Chain A
Amino acid sequence: MIEPAIALYGSTFQSVMKTLEELLRESGARYVMLLDRKGFVLAHKEALWAPRPPALDSLATLIAGNAAATQALAKMLGEPRFQEIVHQGEQNGLYVEEIGEVALLTILFDNSAPLGRVKLTAKKAAQALERLTREAIVTPNKLGIDTDYRDGANALLDELFGN
């Protein structure tokens, strides 16, 4: 498999969370998320004052799909990639920054957070996150899922979908 997997845990995860927390505070954004390229949420943080975010799974999937499409577009234009994606609406905005090859940093912000500050703080966080995610890349066959896990999951499949 060429697609590397990210396994965030332990002290690396703590450092990622700390970085996201700082970013949230300094940028004034509502939500920050770290996704992998496939659209799975690796870590996320919400501002206490912000309303409940929309479904994170759906958000992450659409952002990853959007980033993939944007990257394909960049390649057609002779760029390896566009490093950042900004979407600005009337009230809310979305900022996505690439974290190396494998992850995406996503910031959702509203009018109270100036785009300039979002960008500035995002770049800083991106540097830290790039280092951290590189440490977290594992080769899939070292994930250590055993046959017990498989048997348990198979039993749940029967329960959910019937025999």
Chain B
Amino acid sequence: MSTINFAAREINFKIVYYGPGMSGKTTNLKWVFGQIPDTRRGDMVSLATEDERTLFFDFLPVDLGEVKGFKTRFHLYTVPGQVFYNASRKLILRGVDGIVFVADSAPNRLRANAESFRNLRENLAEYGLTMDEVPIVLQANKRDLPDALPVEMVQMVIDPDKKYSMFEAVASTGVGVFETLKAVSRLVLSRVATAG
């Protein structure tokens, strides 16, 4: 849950990018890092292997600015997507305020999307959370692939009830990256406001 520091007059939110390996979670963060002015963001921390696969997490603090005297910040994290890194993936979810699920549009990654989404549900359950308690948005990434599956099909396997908003994206060129982040931020904000 959000951390409020009344002394420093700061409110912090934690947003986690989840999804199967190579779906583009880190690419999302890199685009945000590259596009917003450096006065509005901190350093990006990447714990990755030599071939740039995320090993533990990526981290990027984003300053929204001051609202009613409170400095508001979003801390963006990615998880390592590869199946065998579940122990560390679970740790990143601790205290999460909102989730972006980055799905891969490639036909041969359809099953990986479903598995990763199921894994998300299981990991949240270990913190005593259900999928309804955390704001979630979906992103169908890599829409530029020549054999990209229809968005409806990607959504069908992870979210057959169409409970979550789905955004189309090409993270490598920035398409849909900000839209996704804005959508999840709004959900997070509306949730704290109704709670108060």
Contacts and interface: CB of A to CB of B under 8 A. Distances in A.
Interface of A: 1-10, 13, 36-43, 55, 57-58, 61-62, 65, 68-69, 72, 140-150, 152-154, 156-162
A68 to B, nearest CB: 4
A152 B182 contact: no
Interface string B94-131: 11000000000000000000000000000000011100
Contacts of A149: 67-68, 70, 189, 193
A40 B91 contact: no
A61 B70 CA distance: 21
Nearest to A61: B59
B153 interface: no
13 contacts: A3-B127, A10-B6, A40-B12, A43-B7, A57-B42, A58-B43, A61-B75, A142-B196, A144-B196, A150-B193, A153-B67, A157-B182, A157-B185
Nearest to A163: B182
Contacts of B61: 57
Nearest to B90: A72
Contact of A1 (B87, B133, B182): B133
Given A5-B2, A5-B4, A140 B91 contact: no
Contacts of A147: 193
Interface of B, secondary structure class, is mixed
Contacts of B62: 160
Interface in B1-57: 1-7, 11-12, 14, 36, 40, 42-43, 45, 47, 56-57
A148 B68 contact: yes
Contacts of A10: 6-7
Contacts of A4: 1
A146 B94 contact: no
Interface of B: 1-7, 11-12, 14, 36, 40, 42-43, 45, 47, 56-57, 59, 61-62, 64-65, 67-68, 70, 72, 75, 87-88, 90-92, 94-95, 127-129, 133, 178-179, 181-182, 185-186, 189-190, 192-193, 195-196
Contacts of B14: 38
Given A61-B59, A152-B68, A153-B189, A40 B5 contact: yes
Given A40-B12, A156-B67, 5 more contacts: A36-B95, A69-B88, A144-B196, A146-B196, A157-B185
A68 B89 CA distance: 11
B67 A152 contact: yes
A160 B36 CA distance: 7
Contact of B87 (A8, A65, A72, A159): A72
A3 B91 CA distance: 13
B27 to A, nearest CB: 17
Contacts of B7: 8-10, 13, 43
A1 B43 contact: no
A161 B91 contact: no
Given A57-B61, A140-B2, A153-B67, A69 B91 contact: yes
Contacts of B91: 65, 68-69, 72
Nearest to B56: A65
Given A3-B94, A42-B5, A153 B42 contact: no
B72 A156 contact: yes
A9 B56 CA distance: 33
